[in-house]
Amino acid sequence: MPTIHLSLPEQLYSELKKRSEEMGIQMTDLVKVMIRNALEGSVEDSSNENTGRLEENIAFLEAKVAQMDALIGELLRRVKSLEEERELTEEEAEIIKG
């Protein structure tokens, strides 16, 4: 995928960062959505406006799904670790009973 680099004034960068954090998406995804909306918005009508909102919502939901996936993965790792600790404790108890 082609890549571009942007130099932004600090205030604009801060606003983009704040907005992306509020939406729970990466700043690059927010910029992509805004650029896409601007390109489609050259002829402002309600369908483009609705499409833009839907795309923002989709980007937001995709980010939330990714966050949930990461959280579930971490929870599964913790459960596995606790199960392994429990098995070791039970084995130690059996050895002591011996």
Does residue 59 sit in the same domain as residue 90?
Answer: yes
Q: What are the pLDDT digits (tens) for 33-44?
A: 888 888 876 555
Q: Which residues contact 6 (CB under 8 A, 6 or more apart)?
A: 31
Residue 1 lies in a domain: no
Structure confidence at residue 91 as a pLDDT band (50, 70, 90):
confident
> Which pLDDT score is estimated for 3?
84
Q: What are the pLDDT digits (tens) for 46-89?
A: 566 777 788 888 988 998 898 999 999 999 999 999 999 988 88
Cα 19 to Cα 58: distance, rounded to the nearest angstrom: 15
Structural domain that includes position 18: 8-43
Does residue 56 sit in the same domain as residue 91?
Answer: yes
Does residue 14 sit in the same domain as residue 31?
Answer: yes
Cβ proximity of 30 and 60 under 8 Å: no
CA atoms within 13 A on the CB side of 83: 6
Residue 2 lies in a domain: no
